[in-house]
Amino acid sequence: MTAHSSPPLTLETARDLQRILRAEIGPGLSEGELDAVEARFGFTFSADHRVFLAAGLPHGSRSWPDWRNGDPEDLAERLSRPVEGVLFDVQHNGFWHPSWSQKPAETSDALQIARSELATAPQLVPIYSHRYLPGTAGECGHPVLSVHQTDVIFYGNDLSDYVRYEFTGRASSLPARATVGFWSYFVNGGPGIDVTAPTPHSPYAVSGQEAIEYLRMLALERLIGRPHHPYQLIEAGVTALVLGVETESLALLAGLSRTEHESADALFDQVLGELGLPEGFPGDDTDIPGEAARWELVRWWLRLIVNGSMAPGAGGDVITYEGWGALARPQSLQPLVDKVDAYNESDAIQRTTREQAIVTEAERLLAGPWPPPD
């Protein structure tokens, strides 16, 4: 697939974007420096990524890759992280891409095949933290992806859209779409994602109240038994902290490093308690375990689909499994489930239209009473 036809990034536009970054901006990389980085590490920057780095080099935080003076081992590790994350899920979480040959019984053989297949996948190049842009020479307008193992989600329709979203909370209303092979599989929700895995979404809050609501929804997910990656809890903490929420443990949660991820659950519980959120959790007084919590979560997942924080296919799969199925198949959700089924059975040409059908149905449900009457 190719990039969408957004206007090419200019040096002037790139410098305007860099003024909103929470970073020091050093001199931009020269054409010679950009070529040398590509040659040293064996990849290519996309056209808009080259322009962005030529306009100025963000630094002053480990989240920004320093292509001029950074540790070569650190830069190489950042470049390899997306592939290594997929391999981790092959080894530990049973992931296997449907286009690959039959999965061998031996893990070592499966890893060998997966590594060979991944060698042909488009290179992802780090922009900031775990946000990546496909490295396709001469092309611009690819979406920015947030990548943690096989949890891959949109974080901006293109580089400009990403910067506005990440650093101001504002994003465009353009329909997001995947543009590169292999990684598009995850972004589009599978189809047939592992619905028992952590919900694949991006943080969405733009106010302190929304940040607290986001923490509450993550807590309700845990209440019904859904797992979370530690980084999701940490990101929720960072989001709340940036938006002015204050508790004794919030800064500790937000500041956890990769080597401290095992502390995320306990600190998340402390934050919930300090905010008094558990006292407001719905009770379990019906024949369906967690019924009230599930209806709250269905509404939240629908909102994530509508505001672009979760791919329609992935969100629809989660709602089908955790909502419609667990809630004894309410008729009110049947039209959405039917559209999700149609999406999962569609080919690449049909998928965009059927994604929009899921979004439209989600909007219709959210506009009515809640829970929706059967």
Determine the pLDDT at residue 1: 37
Determine the pLDDT at residue 322: 87
Contacts of 88 (CB under 8 A, 6+ apart): 149
As a whole number of angstroms, the distance between CA 113 and CA 43 comes to 22
Determine the pLDDT at residue 51: 96
Burial class (CB in 10 A: 0-12, 13-18, 19+), 360: middle
Residue 248: count of CB within 10 angstroms of its CB: 10
Give tens-digit pLDDT for 30-61. 999 999 999 999 999 999 999 999 999 998 88
What's the token pair of residue 321? 């499994």
As a whole number of angstroms, the distance between CA 86 and CA 242 comes to 30
Helix (H, G, I), strand (E, B) or coil at 131: strand
Check: CB of residue 193 under 8 Å from CB of residue 317. yes
The list of the chain residues with pLDDT below 50 reads 1-5, 191-192
Determine the pLDDT at residue 193: 56
Q: Do the strands 124-128 and 131-134 form a parallel or antiparallel pair, or are they unpaired?
A: antiparallel
As a whole number of angstroms, the distance between CA 82 and CA 88 comes to 10
Contacts of 311 (CB under 8 A, 6+ apart): 153, 154, 187, 188, 189, 200, 305, 355
Check: CB of residue 55 under 8 Å from CB of residue 15. yes
Determine the pLDDT at residue 179: 66
Check: CB of residue 352 under 8 Å from CB of residue 366. no
Contacts of 71 (CB under 8 A, 6+ apart): none
Determine the pLDDT at residue 285: 64
Determine the pLDDT at residue 106: 92
Distance separating the N- and C-terminal Cα atoms of the chain: 41
For the chain, the 3-state helix, strand and coil shares in percent, each to the nearest 5, are 50, 5, 40
E-strand stretches of 242-290: none
| Structure-token match 């369906």, residue found | 288
Determine the pLDDT at residue 171: 60
Determine the pLDDT at residue 2: 41
CA dihedral 247, 249, 252, 253 (to 10 degrees): -90
C-alpha separations of 123 from 34, 79, 170 in Å: 16, 8, 27
pTM, 2 dp: 0.55
